[in-house]
Structure formats: C-alpha cells, structure tokens
C-alpha cells in the first residue's frame, strides 16, 4: 500500500489552502450557501460507495454504529428549534398533527407541509 511522505502531504495541504483562499468569496451569504450545500455533495458519493458495500460485515457494523449518533445529533439540534417554534397551543397542535400524519397516516411530506402552512396562515389571518 502506497502512503505519501510527510513533505508531500504538507505540500498538498499548502496547495489546497491557497486554492481555497483564492476561491473564497467575500460575501458571507455565498459562504453560508456553500456551507449548506457542500455536505450534500459529499454525502451522495459516500452513500453510493457504502451502498455498494453494505453486504460486508465491517461496513454494516460501521453504518449501524453511525446511525444512533446521527439520530442523537438530529434530536439535539432539533429540540432547541422546536422549543422556540412551538410557543402556543396552535403551533403545538400543528406539530403534533404533522407528526401523526407523517408517522401513522404515512402522508407525503409535501402535503403535511402544505397543511401545516395553511393552518399557520389561517391562524395569522384570524
């Protein structure tokens, strides 16, 4: 197995750093957009790669180990948002109804979003 030498790695890291510094936009909005879309572009090839090798025991155990961590991160990042968003009885009913529609009734996500948005707009108008 070929491993690069330390000075080759340092040279590559220096090149990559200078490239990113030259390409980095000055507008923070563009950086925010790049921060949002870059993980998706990195995940798609990784999922394809892992999907082709999911029958191997090592890959399967790695996926099984990452899933609880990903679920924990999602819950930890979602709970503060939910606490801020659900600030009254109607938002609580919308959140509960959306959950039930998705989890139990198996509605399509688009219809649930449309219904929740319509309920929120109706409450704002009335």
* pLDDT at res. 113: 95
pLDDT by residue, tens only, the chain of 126 residues: 455 565 666 677 777 777 777 777 677 777 777 777 877 788 888 888 878 888 888 888 888 888 899 899 889 988 988 888 899 999 999 999 999 999 999 999 999 999 999 999 998 898
* pLDDT at res. 34: 74
* pLDDT at res. 9: 61
Is residue 124 one of the residues assigned to a domain?
Answer: yes
CA distances from 14 to 25, 67, 97 (A): 19, 34, 52
Whole-model pTM: value is 0.50
For 91, counting Cβ atoms within 10 Å of its Cβ (0-12 exposed, 13-18 middle, 19+ buried), the class is middle
Number of domains in the chain: 1
The domain in which residue 126 lies consists of 86-126
Is residue 41 one of the residues assigned to a domain?
Answer: no
Helices (H), 24-56: 28-52
Is residue 103 one of the residues assigned to a domain?
Answer: yes
Residues 79 and 112 sit within 8 Å (Cβ to Cβ): no
* pLDDT at res. 4: 53
Is residue 48 one of the residues assigned to a domain?
Answer: no
């Amino acid at each position: 197995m070929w491993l690069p030498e330390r000075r080759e790695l340092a040279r590559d890291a220096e090149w990559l750093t200078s490239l990113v510094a030259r390409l980095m936009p000055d507008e923070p909005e563009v950086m925010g957009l790049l921060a949002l879309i870059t993980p998706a572009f990195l995940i798609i090839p990784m999922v394809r790669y892992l999907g082709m090798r999911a029958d191997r025991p090592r890959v399967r155990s790695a996926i099984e180990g990452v899933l609880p961590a990903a679920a924990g991160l999602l819950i930890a990042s979602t709970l503060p948002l939910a606490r801020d968003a659900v600030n009254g009885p109607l938002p609580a009913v919308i959140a509960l109804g959306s959950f039930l529609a998705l989890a139990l009734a198996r509605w399509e996500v688009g219809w649930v979003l449309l219904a929740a948005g319509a309920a929120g707009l109706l409450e704002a108008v009335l």
